[in-house]
Structure 1
């Protein structure tokens, strides 16, 4: 890997590993719906001009039906439930549970008519991953936070379903345009929800909360997508996909350092089992199994889409992971 590639990889790994920390800070004062509105709205304001400049809005808007479904399952629903769950569980635990998205991707592929031939290693990956989730739920979280676990489960399914929708129905669409339109649509949906439910803050949020919202929108959403495009052009999407296994580690460290969240033996065991399972279950697979988050979902779809002019430096690729 080149020095530029290494810098991009580290920067993107941090950008995709710290959202859980800043969501945890934001929901300390803001309602989950307000967090989603602020994050999606600011990120859309930053990405929409770029999409217009690249002339990517028109093709995305012409395929508005699958994009609408994608937006619901990848942003509108998951971002709310993730923010809600983090009012009850540590940010590091949320990041670890969401790293099980590849496991959910197996079921999503089956439901969409794209089941893979599962090898023994794939099945071993499912067993290891589910054991890791069970360890986190049973020993790290406990029975008092099962509502939060159910909310994260919805997030996991949404994050697995979103990229599969793009890959099946609109794999040719440009990534910046898809992300910008989806974020803008999500903000428009949450604006009346926040107004009706009274989720607007009655007092100006504290500086840490404002900084958290800005980081979520600017760094974790808008900038992260730009970094992803640059990294794919530098090292290719296959090697870029290894960042999936960096994000949970960043989430654990960020929670421990900045929020003093405890790293227990069950945290370490769950981390090892979920990540090992995710690796094995996606080994030699051709389905789109996405990391967590809409930007990563688009990244996975772009990994198997025909090369476009703006990313003409991509190598010819085997199926991802």
Structure 2
């Protein structure tokens, strides 16, 4: 990998590892609809000039149905559920649960009719990964915040399903204009609820910087860097960085927010990571270079 590729790889590992921290801070000061709207609207405004410069927005019109479906599963639903869940559980826990997305992706692909043979290695990986999820989620399901755990696992399902739509229906759609269209659609969806729950006064502390960082760095800049990484190293190698995201999420939560780091969390991380690597080891994933897909989706 080139030096530029290494830099882009490291940037993505961090940029899509810290959103959980920023979400956790932001939901302390604003409602979930306000957070999602601000994130999407600001990112749309930043990326729109780049999309207009290419003159490719008109090319999206014939594909509007799968684009809407992709936006719903990649942004509209999961970003709401993530913010809602982090009102009750730590950002570290959230990041680790989302790490199971590659495992869920394999299961979703099979449910959607994939003819790819799993094989013993991938079956073992699925089992190990699901065991890691069970180790992580069991204490919360027994008496902590079971609804929040279910919400994050639903996010993993959304992140696993959205790339299937992209791979099947959006291979020829330019990535940046599609991203802007999805963000714009999400902004419209949450505009009304955001206005209805808008805070009476500006929140203090780190709330506004967290919202700004989430929109600018973890959304707008993230997609630009991601597309650059794809061009540099290819779509399959570009997605390897997502295996580092959970470690970044846990480190950020523990160091900056003082969240607990327990032995079950460490064990779950090892199991989920090992399971994800094994479950996707032989996968022949269809990943168009121009589509913003995620092997291990981030917030």
Q: Into which bin does the TM-score normalised by the smaller protein fall?
A: over 0.9
Pair 1:137-2:158 in alignment = no
Q: Which has the higher contact order (CA 8 A, sep 6+)?
A: 2
The alpha-carbon distance between structure 1 residues 288 and 158, as it changes in their structure 2 partners (threshold 3 A), is: farther
1:52 CA drift (Å):
1.0
Which residue among 233, 239, 255 is the counterpart of 1:235? 233
Point out where structure 1 has 5 or more consecutive residues left out of the alignment.
Answer: 290-295, 302-321
- Structure 2 CA distance for aligned equivalents of residues 288 and 210 of structure 1: 38
Map residues 74-85 of structure 1 onto 2, 5 A cutoff. 74-85=74-85
Equivalenced residue count is 293
Cα distance in 2 for partners of 1:30, 1:115 equals 45
Quickly say closer, same or farther: Cα 1:246–1:297, change in 2 above 3 A: farther
Out of 287, 292, 297, the residue aligned to residue 298 of structure 1 is 292
Alignment of 1:30-69 (within 5 A): 30-69=30-69
CA separation in 2, counterparts of 1:211 and 1:81? 21
Taking the aligned partners of 1:259 and 1:4, their CA distance within structure 2 comes to 32
After superposition, what is the alpha-carbon deviation per residue over 1:132-162, rounded to whole angstroms, capped at 9, x for unaligned?
Answer: 0000011467532100011111111111111
- TM-aligned CA distance change 1:259 to 1:120, over 3 Å: same
Determine the structure 1 residue equivalent to 2:96: 96
**CA distance in 1: counterparts of 2:80 and 2:286, whole angstroms:** 24
Deviation for aligned residue 1:233? 2.0
Residue 182 (structure 2) aligns with: 182
Q: Which residue number corresponds to residue 202 of structure 2?
A: 204
Distance in 2 between residues matched to 1:6 and 1:57, nearest whole Å: 31
Per the TM alignment, residue 183 of structure 1 is displaced from its structure 2 partner at its CA by 0.4
- Alpha carbons of structure 1 residues 300 and 93: separation in structure 2 relative to 1, 3 Å: closer
| Inter-partner Cα distance in structure 2 for 1:2 and 1:9 | 10
Contact in 2 for aligned 1:288/1:300 (Cα 8 Å): no
Per the normalisation by structure 1, the TM-score is: 0.87
Which TM-score applies when normalising by structure 2? 0.93
C-alpha contact 1:106 1:115 (8 A) present in aligned 2: no
Q: CA RMSD in A?
A: 1.7
Q: How big is the shift at 1:109?
A: 1.0
Change (3 A) 1:32 1:288: farther
